[in-house]
Structure 1
Amino acid sequence: MTAAQPQTVLDSPRSYEELMALYGDMDSLGLLDAMINQEFKDRIALVSSFGAESIVLLDLVAQVNPATPVIFIHTQKLFGETVRYRDKVAEQLGLTNIVTVKPDPVDVANEDKNGLLWTRDTDACCDLRKVRPLARAMNEYDAWITGRKRFQSTTRNAIPLIEKDGSKIKINPLAHWNQDELDQIIVQKGLPKHPLVDQGYPSIGCMPCTSPVEAGQDRRMGRWAGQGKTECGIHIAENI
């Protein structure tokens, strides 16, 4: 689909239904341009884990507007490789507004004094270290951009390009992309890969709860392996 005609920045946001009618089947770059520079100008952020497949969306956002806020949730349980990769990617792509958010230290002291909450209750740990920090950061924005894709897992196989999530609008520009398309653009553009990808980590989260997966397995099998858990909680409606 060709890009929509530029819209005047609105004083009040369009409804979810209007956004779907205008942009519900738009190409990724056109959708990002419309959301970042028109519909939600200064009121939208990209939420990125700087994980295994994050580089493609980060590159697209950098093309559209490199000053777009990029919210990075530093859970304080991440792989060191992820933090270093964040810095490398931001510099290489010219992203100028990386917003690093962390869990509230008072909450951590009260709920996870020894840092081992993840061994007792992974849902509570994700809530403390990811869901609540993101909710606080999102107070400034009306919409957010995610890198979720339908092929990643059975729980994501029907996500739309635009969805309503609690009080926010969520944009999923790569929802319809497949792994071959991601791999191809990374090679074509010489984009840097997360260093753990070649070590068997196709999906990368916090170090204690991420493990490598075998070829052919669901790409998110290594996240909270054996616990019947597939999402940290930030992508469950009504949480923001």
Structure 2
Amino acid sequence: MLDTSTAIEAATQDLLRRAIETDYKGRIALVSSFGTESAVLLHMIARIDRRLPVIFLDTGKLFPDTIAYRNALITRLHLSDVRSIRPDPAHLASFDPDGTLFARDPDFCCALRKTMPLDAALEGFDAWISGRKRNQTETRADIAAIETGPDGRTVLNPLGDWSREDIETYFDTHHLPRHPLESDGFASIGCFTCTRRIKPGEDARAGRWSGSGKTECGIFLSRPAEVPA
């Protein structure tokens, strides 16, 4: 009999294989932050199709360590289509010329640097894969394995019911490298402007947008009726 970790890995691999090779063949991408847990999905994808498009949102405010980790995983896993997507320079010039929008309006900053670039990058795709898990935040507690995203595309959450222990077991079993900032107290990593180390006993995502009341960047939330032209 398969142990729990082996069983959940096999079921997840089957879900991904079916989506990539059959249900959405040629019409699906993985969206990855190359954060502390990202290597799991990237490794699972590489075992199916190393040519699958991987969309990486380079906000212009990421830790250099994240860029280095991205490059290391691309080489390690032989990923051949990682697309580093950056914000529209015209939008930044108009709405964040001095780079301090994150302090005044973090929601709008995320829209300019993540949501809008992602929507543009997903043109031509019918579905995309996310690394969300139900145990991360209250807002993610009810996510389904397959759901309709705010832009109308299908979103797969293949790690939805994975526990932290499942993630750790996968890293250890497959000898995957860790994000270099994880050992320095960063459990969930986004932009350096809005990410801090967590304190003992804090939730893994407590270091994201700390003190602002914000818990999501916005790519999983409803789109505003109007966006800047």
1:80 match: 64
1:225 match: 210
1:212 match: 197
For residues 38-187 of structure 1, what are the structure 2 equivalents within 5 Å?
38-165=22-149, 166-187=151-172
- Which letter maps to 1:61? I
TM-fit CA distance, 1:189: 1.1
TM (norm. structure 1) is: 0.87
Q: Deviations over 1:28-81 (max 9, x none)?
A: 100100111111111000000000100101100111111100000000000000
1:52–1:204: 8 Å Cα contact kept in structure 2? Answer: yes
Q: Distance in 2 between matches of 1:190 and 1:137?
A: 31
Structure 1 residues not aligned, in runs of 5+: 1-25
Q: Distance in 1 between matches of 2:121 and 2:12?
A: 25
TM-fit CA distance, 1:216: 2.6
Structure 2 residues not aligned, in runs of 5+: 1-9, 225-229
Q: Deviations over 1:191-229 (max 9, x none)?
A: 010001111111000000000112332211110000000
Runs of at least 4 residues off by over 4 Å:
none
1:192 corresponds, among 177, 180, 189, to: 177
3-state SS of paired residue (2:160): coil
Q: Distance in 2 between matches of 1:233 and 1:189?
A: 32
Tell me how large the CA RMSD over aligned residues is.
Answer: 1.2
Q: Distance in 1 between matches of 2:130 and 2:166?
A: 17
Mean CA deviation greater in 230-239 or 181-190? 230-239
Q: Distance in 2 between matches of 1:27 and 1:237?
A: 30
1:192–1:151 distance in 2 versus 1, CA, 3 Å = same
- Which letter maps to 1:187? D
Q: Distance in 2 between matches of 1:160 and 1:27?
A: 15
Q: Distance in 2 between matches of 1:60 and 1:41?
A: 16
Paired-residue identity, %: 44
